[in-house]
Amino acid sequence: MLKKLLAYIRKDDTVTVTKLDRLARSTKDLLNIAEAIKKKGADLEVLNINLDTKSPTGQVMLTMLAAIA
């Protein structure tokens, strides 16, 4: 399903997940998926931690959370 999602998303879409562990199983996976979403011109939103990569703060938070995880 994730591969289909990544193939389907378009510029200005937002991929919304409830928790980071629902999107990726490791830090490396998370950063790769986030980069694939960004390359498509879309954004990532994580509901349980109120993270949205539309803002620079959200982008930094994602990187920090991935490093801690």
- For residue 52, the domain's CATH number is 3.40.50.1390
Q: What is the pLDDT of residue 69?
A: 62
For residue 56, what are its two tokens?
A: 């620079």
For residue 28, what are its two tokens?
A: 């490396």
Alpha-carbon distance of 34 to 1, in angstroms, equals 16
- Domain hosting residue 41, numbered range: 11-68
pTM, 2 dp: 0.85
**Residue 2 belongs to some domain of the structure:** no
Interacting residues of 49 by C-beta distance below 8 A, sequence separation 6+: 19, 20, 61, 65
- Give me the chain's average pLDDT, please: 90
pLDDT band at 14 (very low <50, low <70, confident <90, very high): very high
Q: Is residue 44 predicted with pLDDT exceeding 80?
A: yes
Q: Is residue 16 predicted with pLDDT exceeding 90?
A: yes
Position 49, amino acid: I
